[in-house]
């Protein structure tokens, strides 16, 4: 008996060592880059520092001074607002269009394979390429969009990316175009996991296609939907690349996001401390939003698991 327990403890310890060994590299990377980065960001955010030389020598500790200035910075609040617009648009449009496309390609009708490939293509392009060619499409003089508009109203080229009122819509449209396929693939993967028998049973019971969607597909997809929504919220709050490539936050800050604002402050204006305080706010805001979202959707999760 004694030998048996000894062997068992040995195995447990060995198991633990193995688990640790396998987790260690990832943990090390996570701690040295992600965690360390976040902690240092908060540390830097208490300094007035231009990023040149070491912070302990060249920086002036001003406590929460950067945050106080940030709270009064109208540009920052516009960026926050734009980020939330992006969150809402992403969830409402990208997820729902993704769902519609997933339903279409999931029917298995003739030609769906072709459409699956076509719809998926935007996601395969690199963001820089996407941003660059959409800039050309939006070109007020030789772009396709204005070529069509010219037929309707000549002599008034609309400047899609140069006008303060239009620029957000123009870039948001491209983000939807780019990311809808991601949700299409996620949701479609979720749909293939739903047993065909459920639909057969429902059909025998006389349920219509609509009823089947609302009573079977949607409830069973809720886990996938929630994952997609979390991905979408986090992605939107720290979004940077497409906006940077297409507008650099311009004109005049009307398409500014928190991340582009942070980059400009830290690296273009050489205000590393102030930029760090923007980054710190991004962490806090993202954390709060995700916490609220998790709290609001917690009941359904319990049912699932």
- Calpha distance 120→97 (Å, rounded): 13
Q: Compare residues 140 and 235 and give the one whose CB is closer to other proteins.
A: 140
* Residues counted in the chain: 305
- Calpha distance 226→175 (Å, rounded): 20
* Tokens encoding 74: 């109208």
Beta-carbon count within 10 A of 150 CB: 14
CB of 172 to other proteins, least distance (A): 15
* Tokens encoding 90: 């992403």
Q: Which of 52, 148, 152, 204 binds other proteins (CB under 8 A)?
A: 52
CB of 53 to other proteins, least distance (A): 4
- Calpha distance 222→187 (Å, rounded): 10
CB of 139 to other proteins, least distance (A): 6
Nearest to 290 by CA among 37, 113, 112, 87: 87
Q: Compare residues 5 and 56 and give the one whose CB is closer to other proteins.
A: 56
- Calpha distance 119→184 (Å, rounded): 9
- Calpha distance 134→283 (Å, rounded): 30
CB of 152 to other proteins, least distance (A): 16
Q: Which of 198, 231, 251, 290 binds other proteins (CB under 8 A)?
A: 251
Q: Compare residues 1 and 21 and give the one whose CB is closer to other proteins.
A: 21
If one asks whether residue 55 binds other proteins (CB under 8 A), the answer comes out as: yes
Site residues for other proteins, 270-289, by CB under 8 A, read 270-271
CA gyration radius for the chain? 25
CB of 204 to other proteins, least distance (A): 48
What sections of 153-271 are H helices per DSSP?
A: 167-192, 196-204, 209-212, 218-237, 241-246, 258-263
- Calpha distance 79→264 (Å, rounded): 12
User: What is the total count of residues that contact other proteins (CB under 8 A)?
Assistant: 44
Q: Which of 43, 58, 104, 127 binds other proteins (CB under 8 A)?
A: 58
If one asks whether residue 24 binds other proteins (CB under 8 A), the answer comes out as: yes
If one asks whether residue 65 binds other proteins (CB under 8 A), the answer comes out as: no
Taking residues 114 to 153 in sequence order and writing x for each that binds other proteins by CB under 8 A, - otherwise, the string is ------------------x--xx-xxxxx-----------
Positions in the binding site for other proteins (CB under 8 A): 18, 21-22, 24-25, 28-29, 50-55, 58, 132, 135-136, 138-142, 156-164, 167, 247-248, 250-253, 264, 267-271
């Amino acid at each position: 008996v004694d030998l048996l327990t000894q062997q068992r403890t040995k195995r447990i310890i060995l198991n633990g060592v193995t688990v640790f060994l396998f987790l260690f590299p990832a943990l090390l990377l996570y701690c040295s880059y992600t965690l360390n980065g976040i902690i240092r960001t908060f540390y830097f955010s208490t300094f007035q520092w231009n990023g040149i030389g070491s912070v302990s020598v060249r920086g002036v500790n001003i406590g929460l001074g950067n945050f106080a200035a940030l709270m009064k910075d109208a540009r920052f609040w516009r960026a926050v607002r734009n980020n939330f617009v992006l969150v809402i648009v992403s969830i409402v449009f990208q997820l729902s269009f993704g769902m519609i496309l997933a339903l279409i390609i999931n029917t298995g009708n003739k030609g769906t394979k072709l459409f699956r490939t076509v719809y998926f293509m935007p996601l395969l392009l690199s963001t820089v390429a996407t941003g660059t060619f959409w800039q050309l499409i939006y070109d007020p003089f030789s772009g396709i969009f204005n070529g069509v508009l010219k037929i309707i109203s000549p002599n008034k080229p609309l400047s899609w990316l140069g006008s303060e009122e239009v620029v957000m819509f123009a870039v948001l449209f491209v983000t939807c175009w780019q990311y809808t396929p991601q949700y299409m693939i996620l949701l479609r993967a979720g749909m293939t996991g739903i047993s065909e028998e459920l639909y057969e049973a429902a059909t025998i019971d006389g349920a219509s296609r609509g009823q089947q969607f609302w009573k079977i597909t949607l409830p069973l997809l809720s886990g996938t939907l929630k994952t997609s929504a979390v991905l979408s919220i986090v992605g939107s709050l720290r979004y940077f690349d497409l906006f940077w490539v297409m507008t650099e936050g311009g004109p005049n800050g009307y398409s500014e996001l928190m991340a582009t604002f942070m980059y400009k402050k830290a690296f273009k204006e050489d205000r590393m401390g102030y930029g760090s305080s923007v980054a710190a706010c991004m962490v806090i805001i993202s954390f709060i939003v995700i916490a609220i979202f998790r709290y609001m959707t917690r009941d359904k999760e319990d049912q699932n698991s």
